[in-house]
């Protein structure tokens, strides 16, 4: 890869990532950090330059994952979305999030990467309950970021429309990434993190470093009775 090549890594710190339903083994935040730091470890051991936007400058070190983890522990409150404008061509970035913001907001945030010719790899971390919407009867939903509440008398009546909207959001993001030459991977928190790491490795090595694209509010809620987080509509 080119001498200037850096792999940037980022895991979403927003409150929605704390969600963990009873069907999941870990929270979305825990899974996102595991994925990002595991990639940092693998890349560091192979001599790659890595960085975390808003936290570190690009560096090379055998203990890269440990260094990033230590800085995250002492960083305090990090921005919900870091400024990506300094990331330039010949770089890759791995972005791990639930991507539950409105699609147009996500695209607007990431558009600078496309304009700079950066190759991005999006990993959507999903809780199984967010896909299946297993709620029924009287259910209270709480937005983890605003505290707004919504009480549904018969939550099951919302299920079909919710699942359509959830799938449409993912479909639109997947198609957008494909058009840009980016990768989009889904990792569920009731499955192994290694599944996503294997797919990510394949995406990052499939076309080599020369394959670059040309310039071209979370709205969810938490169901009461489940653990903190949100089921997103």
Summarised one tens digit per residue, pLDDT across range 43-76 is 999 999 999 999 999 999 999 999 999 999 998 8
In a domain, 207, yes or no: yes
Q: What is the pLDDT of residues 145-200, one digit of tens each?
A: 788 898 988 889 999 999 999 999 999 999 999 999 999 999 999 999 999 999 99
Domain tally for the chain? 1
At which residue do the structure tokens 């990033």 appear?
A: 68
Inter-residue long-range contacts of 110-113, CB under 8 Å, 24+ positions, other chains counted: 110/84, 112/84, 112/85, 112/87, 113/84, 113/87
Three-state DSSP at 108 gives: helix
- How close are the terminal C-alpha atoms of the chain, in Å? 41
The answer to whether residue 170 is domain-embedded is no
- The pTM score is 0.86
Residue 86 lies in a domain: yes
| Segments forming the whole domain that contains residue 92 | 7-133+180-216
Q: Is residue 224 over pLDDT 70?
A: no
| CATH number reported for the structural domain that contains residue 92 in this entry | 3.40.50.410
164 occurs within a structural domain: no
64 within some domain: yes
């Amino acid at each position: 890869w080119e001498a200037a090549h850096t792999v940037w890594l980022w895991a979403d710190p927003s409150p929605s990532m704390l969600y963990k339903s009873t069907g999941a083994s870990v929270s979305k935040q825990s899974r996102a950090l595991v994925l990002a730091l595991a990639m940092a470890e693998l890349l560091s051991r192979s001599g790659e330059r890595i960085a975390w936007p808003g936290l570190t400058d690009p560096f090379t070190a055998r203990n890269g994952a440990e260094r990033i983890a230590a800085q995250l522990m002492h960083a305090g409150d990090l921005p919900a979305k870091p400024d990506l404008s300094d990331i330039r061509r010949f770089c890759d970035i791995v972005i791990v999030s639930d991507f539950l913001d409105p699609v147009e907001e996500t695209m607007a945030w990431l558009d600078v990467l496309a304009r700079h010719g950066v190759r991005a790899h999006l990993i959507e971390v999903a809780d199984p309950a967010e896909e299946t919407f297993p709620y029924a009867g009287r259910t209270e939903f709480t937005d983890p970021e605003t505290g707004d509440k919504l009480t549904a008398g018969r939550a099951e009546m919302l299920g079909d429309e919710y699942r359509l909207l959830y799938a449409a959001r993912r479909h639109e993001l997947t198609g957008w990434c494909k058009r840009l030459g980016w990768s989009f991977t889904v990792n569920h928190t009731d499955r192994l993190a290694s599944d996503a790491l294997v797919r990510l490795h394949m995406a990052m090595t499939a076309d080599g470093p020369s394959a670059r694209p040309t310039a071209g509010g979370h709205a969810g809620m938490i169901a009461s009775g489940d653990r903190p987080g949100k089921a997103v509509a």
